[in-house]
Amino acid sequence: MTESNDTPIQTEEGDERQHRRIKSFVMRAGRMTEGQQRGLDQGTPLFVLPLADAPVDFDQVFGRSAPRSLEIGFGMGHSLLEMAAASPEQDFIGVEVHRPGVGALLNGVLTQGLTNLRVYDCDAIEVLNRCVADNSLDRLMLFFPDPWHKSRHHKRRIVQASFAELVRSKLKVGGILHMATDWEPYAEYMLEVMNVAPGYRNLAEDGKCVPRPTERPITKFERRGERLGHGVWDLKFEKQS
């Protein structure tokens, strides 16, 4: 999710201050289950990475060189867990500040015995700026970010020209920025931003959205939305330069 205050907030309305900057989240409270707490207690020392001051050598972190994907805002982690389990030959990095979600993901990693997934529990923009080397990612995923429906809140959206440029700097040539949203106006907004972002190519044949990629798991929320006739829009942009 996206917020532009210098500190996390508890409500969508936020605090209308000066000197804003885009952040990748809004902090929201949540109750912790026993499994989530187990994940935090046992999984944090093994799988949570600290915010570094220099690009991290992920080959050393994972003990190998492999295709590498980073997901911003993995929520409760169900999709990221499924992707990591289905592709043991790839490495995955998840970024999320919601503590119950981090705990749920870590509990799943422990339960399934996965070794190809690491986590940052801090602001994704900081992670990209400080921890990820340029031209190092094969894919960056942004699934169902907060669309900030109200016009006066559009500036809080994570998808901005500056975000597109930051992601492009971190992707390898040929790397993919994959975004998904269940709100059509936000999909249209994403297209507006990305169509003028330099160095990208839209992979949709019609220049708009791609069919739902098989590698993106369908969430329970998405299945419920489909039953109610709600749509989901996937966008894929390839870094060309």
> Got the DSSP string for the chain?
--B-SSS--SSSS----SS---BS---------HHHHHIIIIIHHHHBPPPPSS---HHHHHTS---EEEEE--TTSHHHHHHHHH-TTSEEEEE---HHHHHHHHHHHHHHT--SEEEE-S-HHHHHHHTSPTT-EEEEEEES-----SGGGGGG-S-SHHHHHHHHHHEEEEEEEEEEES-HHHHHHHHHHHHTSTTEEE--TTSS-BPPPTTSPPPHHHHHHHHTT---EEEEEEE--
Instruction: Return the top range by mean pLDDT from 5-9, 73-77, 221-225.
Output: 73-77
pLDDT in the model for residue 11: 33
Lowest mean per-residue pLDDT among 24-28, 76-80, 100-104, 189-193:
24-28
219 annotated as ligand-binding:
yes
What does the pLDDT look like over 117-133, one tens digit per residue? Answer: 999 999 999 999 999 99
Task: Check pLDDT > 90 for residue 28.
Answer: no
CA distance 9 to 228: 31
Q: What is the pLDDT of residue 148?
A: 87
Instruction: Report whether pLDDT(13) > 70.
Output: no
Q: What is the mean pLDDT of residues 22-32?
A: 57
Q: What pLDDT sits at residue 24?
A: 52
For residue 30, what pLDDT band results from cuts at 50, 70 and 90?
A: low
Structural domains present in the chain: 62-237 (3.40.50.150)
Q: What is the mean pLDDT of residues 224-236?
A: 86
State the pLDDT at residue 222: 82
Residues labelled catalytic: 146
Is 182 annotated as ligand-binding?
A: yes
Of 181, 180, 186, give the one whose Cα is nearest residue 150. 186
The residue type of 140 is L
220 marked as binding residue: yes
* 130-163 pLDDT per residue, tens: 999 999 999 999 999 999 888 888 999 999 999 9
At 221 the pLDDT is: 72
